[in-house]
């Protein structure tokens, strides 16, 4: 997929576990795992907002576009 989710990178920078993020954001571990593994088909603005607020970052810090044709 061309959109890469860098959630694990941000979690490492903030020294936060997935379980802690799950508790603070209010998203199930299963859903966060889907997001982290890049299996998600869409992300709601409300979810993105909650993650950005918790990790104190910008959406671009979590999501990255990579052109698969060029790479």
Partner 1 sequence: METTKKHLSIKVIYWVTNITFWIFVLAAILGFILAGAFMLKIFDKTQLHVGIPVAINILEQGTLELNNSISSVEFVEMYGKIHFIDTDPEIGQVYSLFILAILSIFFYIFFTFRKFINNVYKGVYFEMKNISLLKRISYALVGVWGFTVLYAYFQYFYLLKNVEFSSIEITSDVQTYPVIVLVALFIWVLSHIFMKGCELQEETNYTI
Compute the distance between CA of residue 20 and CA of residue 12 in angstroms, rounded to an integer.
12
Q: How far is the CB of 60 from partner 1 (least distance, A)?
A: 18
CB nearer to partner 1: pick between 16 and 40: 40
The span from the CA of 36 to the CA of 6, in Å, is: 7
Largest pairwise CA distance in the chain: 39
Q: Which is nearer to partner 1, 15 or 44 (CB)?
A: 44
Instruction: Output 16 or 27, the one with its CB closest to partner 1.
Output: 27
- The answer to whether 16 touches 55, Cβ cutoff 8 Å, is yes
Binding piece for partner 1, criterion CB under 8 A, among 12-20, 35-43, 52-60, 63-71: 35-43
The rounded distance, in Å, linking the Cα atoms of 43 and 51 is: 11
Q: Which residues bind partner 1 (CB under 8 A)?
A: 27, 31-32, 34-35, 39-44, 47
């Amino acid at each position: 997929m061309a959109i890469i989710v860098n959630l694990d990178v941000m979690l490492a920078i903030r020294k936060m576990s997935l379980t802690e993020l799950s508790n603070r954001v209010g998203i199930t571990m299963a859903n966060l795992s889907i997001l982290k593994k890049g299996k998600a088909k869409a992300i709601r603005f409300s979810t993105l907002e909650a993650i950005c607020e918790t990790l104190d970052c910008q959406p671009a810090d979590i999501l990255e576009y990579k052109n698969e044709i060029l790479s």
